[in-house]
């Protein structure tokens, strides 16, 4: 790190040997060789001028809610902490708002719901930062980020310029975007702009768990706040509080299988839930597969699958990243052996 002629004198911009346990919801203790918080986008250009992005195997993360540190990191770490909320355009029907990438996502949803702005109420309580949301096109209960997305700004660490991408240019898919492919490892998102509804917004409460909650409350014509409250209640009933059990939410993606495989599995497991997609394939809940492979509530050492939702792997206290990873791989193998379906981690494994 650094040279005698001062060309790469960015050491002074970092703290050394920072414990990352408070920066990841898994609660894993891992040390970063070098660590800095990005609170202003022009810190990125300052780093670029030192040659940092050309010479270092850097890592960027936000809320630390979708990562697992397997070991200490012998590399520089950038923590995204750019905040701010700015209204760009407003009409009677909609409002266009720009959010800093370091804003906590759930706080953004609360901000919108408090003002009766519609479009992201179904995405309540998804952990992480706003800048991370477009990377995997976060989604829940029939909604996804792409539904309200307008544009974003990112810093291109190869070209050393700020760029803007539209919704189409982000190439959103199911938990997918250009940031997982062509721009992987080179784009640092700084702001995200959303179009939210001020009027004529139709809420989606079609998911059975949301419908059941609203029916119990005798809410027949739910509004934005009602759907938000339902989502929060349902998620809290299924997911552990990270302050009590370290976790990264859903550890695996819901797999998508073709028609023939679905038919064979449906014959053997007629109660297996599935969702037909537009292209004729079927999405299967990973939690159901893990549960029926016998893992829900099972604990091995300091790691286990949560008792209320098998898809969530929890740190019962003191688990290392390596220990959690090995447990996850056992779950993955078990599901493959029983159902012939290989689960892909939704959590980013960092080593």
Do the bridges between strand 256-257 and strand 282-283 make them parallel or antiparallel, or are there none, so unpaired? antiparallel
Token pair for residue 293? 């492979």
Q: Are residues 337 and 262 in the same domain?
A: yes
**pTM to 2 decimal places:** 0.84
Residue 90 is part of which domain span? Answer: 85-197
Which of 302, 306, 305 has the alpha carbon at shortest distance from 334? 305
Of the candidates 80, 101, 121, which is a domain's last residue?
80
Beta-carbon neighbour count of residue 215 at 10 Å?
11
Q: Can you point out the beta strands (E) in 157-244?
A: 161-166, 187-197
Does residue 220 sit within a domain?
no
- Residues 6 or more apart from 79 whose CB is under 8 A from it? 23, 35, 36, 37, 38, 60, 61, 62
Shared domain for 101 and 188, answered yes or no, is yes
Two tokens at 207?
A: 């998911």
Q: Does 295 fall in a domain?
A: yes
69 lies in the same domain as 144:
no
Same domain, 174 and 89: yes
Give ∠ CA 195-201-205 in degrees, rounded to 5. 110
d(CA 65, CA 127): 6
Residue 208 lies in a domain: no
Domain finish residue from 36, 65, 80: 80
Mapped onto helix, strand or coil, the DSSP state of residue 310 is: strand
CATH classification of the domain holding 76: 3.30.43.10
Residue 260 counted as domain residue: yes
> What does the alpha-carbon distance between residue 38 and residue 91 come to, in Å, rounded to a whole number?
33
> What pLDDT score was predicted for residue 9?
62
Q: Is 205 inside a domain boundary?
A: no
Q: Alpha-carbon distance 170 to 277, whole Å? A: 21
Same domain, 323 and 253: yes
Q: What is the arithmetic mean of pLDDT over 31-60?
A: 94
By percentage, how much of the chain surpasses pLDDT 70?
97
Q: Which of 178, 182, 187 is nearest to 158 (CA)?
A: 187
From 197, 218, 238, give the residue that closes a domain. Answer: 197
Do 342 and 254 have their domain in common? yes
Beta bridge partners of residue 192, listed in sequence order: 99, 152
Residue 1 has pLDDT above 60, yes or no: no
Instruction: Examine the residue annotation and report whether 171 is marked as an active-site residue of this protein.
Output: no
- What number is the average pLDDT over the span 5-30? 81
pLDDT score recorded for residue 174? 82
346 is catalytic: yes
Query: Does residue 193 share a domain with residue 96?
Result: yes
The pLDDT tens digits of the residues spanning 257-288 come to 999 999 999 999 999 999 999 899 999 999 99
How many structural domains is the chain composed of?
A: 3
Q: Is residue 230 part of a domain?
A: no
Together in a domain, 129 and 175: yes
Beta-carbon count within 10 A of 314 CB: 27
Residue of 56, 110, 326, 346 marked active site: 346
Hey, is 238 helix, strand or coil? helix
Asked if residues 78 and 48 have their Cβ atoms less than 8 Å apart, the reply is no
Domain presence at residue 253 = yes
Whether 112 and 52 share a structural domain:
no
- pLDDT, mean over the chain: 93
| Residue 180 Cα distances to 160, 172, 326, angstroms | 19, 10, 24
235 tagged catalytic: no
Are residue 27 and residue 41 in the same domain, yes or no?
A: yes
Catalytic pick among 235, 250, 274, 296: 250
pLDDT at 11 over 90: no
Whether 151 is covered by a domain: the verdict is yes
Are 60 and 134 members of one domain?
Answer: no
Phi, psi dihedrals of residue 274, rounded to the nearest 5°:
-155, 160
Rg (CA), the chain: 21
Please write the tens of the pLDDT for every residue from 236-258. 988 888 888 999 988 999 999 99
Instruction: Please give the pLDDT value at position 221.
Output: 94
pLDDT at 60: 94
Q: What is the CATH number of the domain that holds 110?
A: 3.30.465.10
Both 273 and 321 in one domain: the answer is yes
CATH of the domain at 317: 3.90.78.10
Candidates 21, 56, 175, 334; catalytic one: 175
Report the number of secondary-structure helices (H) and strands (E) in the chain. 9, 20
């Amino acid at each position: 790190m650094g040279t005698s002629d001062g060309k790469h004198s960015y050491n002074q911009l970092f703290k050394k040997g920072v414990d990352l346990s408070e920066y990841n919801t898994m609660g894993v203790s891992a040390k970063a060789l070098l660590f800095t918080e990005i609170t202003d986008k022009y810190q990125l250009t300052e780093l670029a001028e030192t040659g940092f992005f050309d010479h270092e195997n850097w890592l960027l993360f936000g809320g630390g809610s979708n990562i697992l540190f397997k070991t200490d990191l012998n590399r520089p770490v950038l923590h995204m902490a750019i905040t701010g909320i700015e209204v760009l355009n407003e009409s009677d029907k909609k409002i266009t708002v720009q959010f800093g990438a370091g804003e906590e996502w759930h706080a953004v949803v609360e901000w919108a719901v408090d003002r009766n702005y519609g479009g992201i109420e179904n995405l309540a309580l998804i952990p992480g930062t706003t800048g991370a949301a477009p990377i995997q096109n976060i989604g829940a209960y029939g909604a996804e980020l792409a539904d309200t997305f307008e544009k974003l700004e990112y810093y291109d660490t190869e070209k050393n310029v700020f760029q803007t991408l539209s919704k189409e240019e982000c190439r959103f898919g199911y938990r997918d975007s250009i940031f997982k492919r062509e721009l992987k490892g080179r784009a640092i998102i700084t702001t995200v702009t959303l179009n939210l509804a001020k009027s004529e917004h139709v809420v989606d409460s079609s998911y059975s768990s949301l419908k059941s909650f609203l029916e119990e409350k005798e809410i027949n014509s739910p509004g934005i706040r009602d759907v938000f409250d339902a989502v929060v209640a349902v998620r809290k009933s299924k997911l552990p509080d990270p302050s009590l059990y370290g976790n990264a939410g859903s550890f695996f993606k819901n797999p998508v299988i073709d028609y023939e495989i679905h038919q064979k599995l449906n014959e053997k497991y007629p109660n297996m839930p599935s969702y037909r997609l537009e292209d004729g394939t079927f999405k299967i809940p990973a939690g159901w597969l893990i549960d029926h492979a016998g893992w829900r509530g099972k604990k091995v050492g300091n790691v286990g699958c949560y008792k209320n939702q098998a898809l969530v792997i929890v740190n019962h206290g003191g688990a290392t990243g390596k220990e959690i990873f090995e447990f996850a791989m056992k779950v993955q193998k078990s599901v493959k052996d029983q159902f012939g379906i290989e689960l892909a981690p939704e959590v980013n494994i960092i080593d």
